[in-house]
Chain A
């Protein structure tokens, strides 16, 4: 390893907690590379998206090129290369959700947030996505906000869901200032 590499290695983009988690992750598998996809996802959870820096650091941790990481990452629809909102609203419109009003729910989210598919609100609080089946077909129409599921929505319950997250953001803001 060149001195340059050693220097960049010490400058991790990730928090000590995430770094420790990723160090354990690569040891879990018979092959180091098996940690790649979870590593990208956990890094994205913390940083918000797969920036060039994140991709380079993941490549270094796995021991492959950044190009190789990019080649894999572009395959998976949950991985993104631009920032999303703090709360990424993913509305399923696949068949089971569609026939119970998934598009009407998606339209209401668009109206309430003033953004479309893959849009981000000006304050950075929300982003919106139309997504494929999320495995909640019997509780349709369903959405995910980040990793949380919300089932059996109607256009009328959309604003309540958003207000809940607005409240959480506010509470977090207050506690972090205190």
Chain B
């Protein structure tokens, strides 16, 4: 069972029921569960969407798109059935928050899905979990079965005239499927490659029907927005960034863990206070703020940095999935960059050439470089390659691979230079002969 952590600065909304047995439906109800879904049934779709808009809740998957606005894009009338899709394909390295949501609070996901369904007029919701999360899928499946048994799902939910079904689904190992249109392809039983947009999912999504797709954390946050009211929720975070965020803090900190903090919380405090500072009394070298695809930040860049979508964007990085990876002064940045690009090379679906070829060549260059066989011009080549991947692919995976690589080269150029011919890795870890 993954270890739970706590800190006095936390504002526990989404994680409020963690460790309290809320995977059992009666316990969930006892702790206030399903009241928000009932309230939404009484109030109707327009009210729900207005509350969501007022909340300033933005997508927790990484893009930070306002949830209320996303829901409002779905046409009211549609010849094809509409769908709600919950993205639980959590795969961004550094991110493990949805893991805890599925484990401790599966009914919050179900309740949020019901509310999204009511808001857009969908009769079916799908909850897609990554294949590795089998034990969590089993927890979700039991929770769904229990919700059916109570009449919260089915033909007449909560005794109303409204029908809503939930279907759970498993992936089978593919980072790319976390991209919304690739997830739809996968759910339709195909290879998980992205679709060309437009049309956007709100108009043409799953099975060609209008679809709302939200991250599992976003969906699990929805019942809390409804419970406290959109306006109250928005006051928790920073301007235009409503509520809290589950920060997965990992790497060289004393107390790694998933912490729920208000949007806009200072990153330096996350590292030094909430997560207990650098392990073993070492010095901080760098922080990856929002999962492996987000550009790395230097210690001086986190001093005044508030962790919300706008502030991290302004600092030249992204809040992303809020996976904070902390690196101490013994970390080899070239090796770290190589491991990052190896991941994207492995996970590139091969659909777009700049991503398929770009990730491959970046991996080859960095492998050779880290092994001590690089040349000075390689540093510029790596940068040139990465720059030419940016914005040239159907989905964000190409950018996700290029962005961090560019930041590593730009911010740690000296460390790259230290790896040049005849000067092996100063940290001398895991150096393997380059196989090219």
> Does A151 have its Cβ within 8 Å of any Cβ on chain B?
yes
Bound state CA distance, A136 and B250, in angstroms? 9
Give the contact stretch, choosing among B66-74, B339-347, B359-367, B369-377. Answer: B339-347
- Among A40, A72, A137, the residue within 8 A (CB) of B190 is A72
A78 touches B339 (CB 8 A): no
Interface residues on A, range: 35 or more
- Among A31, A36, A100, the residue within 8 A (CB) of B251 is A100
B171 touches A148 (CB 8 A): no
- Among A31, A41, A135, A144, the residue within 8 A (CB) of B96 is A135
B132 touches A29 (CB 8 A): no
> Does A35 have its Cβ within 8 Å of any Cβ on chain B?
yes
Bound state CA distance, A81 and B171, in angstroms? 17
> Does B87 have its Cβ within 8 Å of any Cβ on chain A?
no
> Does A140 have its Cβ within 8 Å of any Cβ on chain B?
yes
Bound state CA distance, A95 and B251, in angstroms? 8
Chain B, Cβ-Cβ closest to A42: B170
B94 touches A77 (CB 8 A): no
B285 vs chain A, min Cβ distance (A): 11
Determine the chain B residues whose CB is within 8 A of the CB of A62 once the complex forms: 189
Bound state CA distance, A77 and B188, in angstroms? 18
Determine the chain A residues whose CB is within 8 A of the CB of B92 once the complex forms: 133
A33 touches B256 (CB 8 A): no
B130 touches A135 (CB 8 A): yes
> Does B295 have its Cβ within 8 Å of any Cβ on chain A?
no
Per the 8 Å Cβ criterion, residues 33-92 of B in contact with A are 81, 90-92
B242 vs chain A, min Cβ distance (A): 24
B189 touches A72 (CB 8 A): yes
A160 vs chain B, min Cβ distance (A): 17
Bound state CA distance, A147 and B2, in angstroms? 14
Encode A1-43 as 1/0 by CB contact (under 8 A) with B.
0000000000000000000000000001111011111101100
Chain A, Cβ-Cβ closest to B326: A99
Bound state CA distance, A93 and B91, in angstroms? 14
B173 touches A79 (CB 8 A): yes
Determine the chain B residues whose CB is within 8 A of the CB of A95 once the complex forms: 93-94, 251, 288, 292, 325, 336, 339-340, 343
A137 touches B173 (CB 8 A): no
Bound state CA distance, A50 and B2, in angstroms? 31
Determine the chain A residues whose CB is within 8 A of the CB of B346 once the complex forms: 77, 132
Per the 8 Å Cβ criterion, residues 85-133 of A in contact with B are 93-96, 98-100, 103, 132-133
Chain A, Cβ-Cβ closest to B328: A99
Determine the chain A residues whose CB is within 8 A of the CB of B251 once the complex forms: 95-96, 99-100
A31-B189, A33-B188, A137-B325 given; name 17 further pairs at CB < 8 Å.
A31-B207, A37-B169, A41-B131, A72-B189, A75-B349, A78-B172, A96-B250, A99-B325, A135-B90, A136-B99, A137-B96, A138-B250, A139-B2, A139-B256, A149-B135, A151-B3, A152-B3
Of the A-B pairs whose beta carbons lie under 8 Å apart in the complex, a sample of 25, sorted by A's number, is: A29-B167, A31-B207, A34-B169, A36-B189, A37-B171, A38-B169, A62-B189, A72-B190, A76-B172, A79-B172, A94-B339, A94-B343, A95-B93, A95-B340, A103-B430, A132-B93, A132-B346, A133-B93, A133-B95, A133-B175, A135-B99, A136-B2, A137-B94, A138-B250, A148-B135
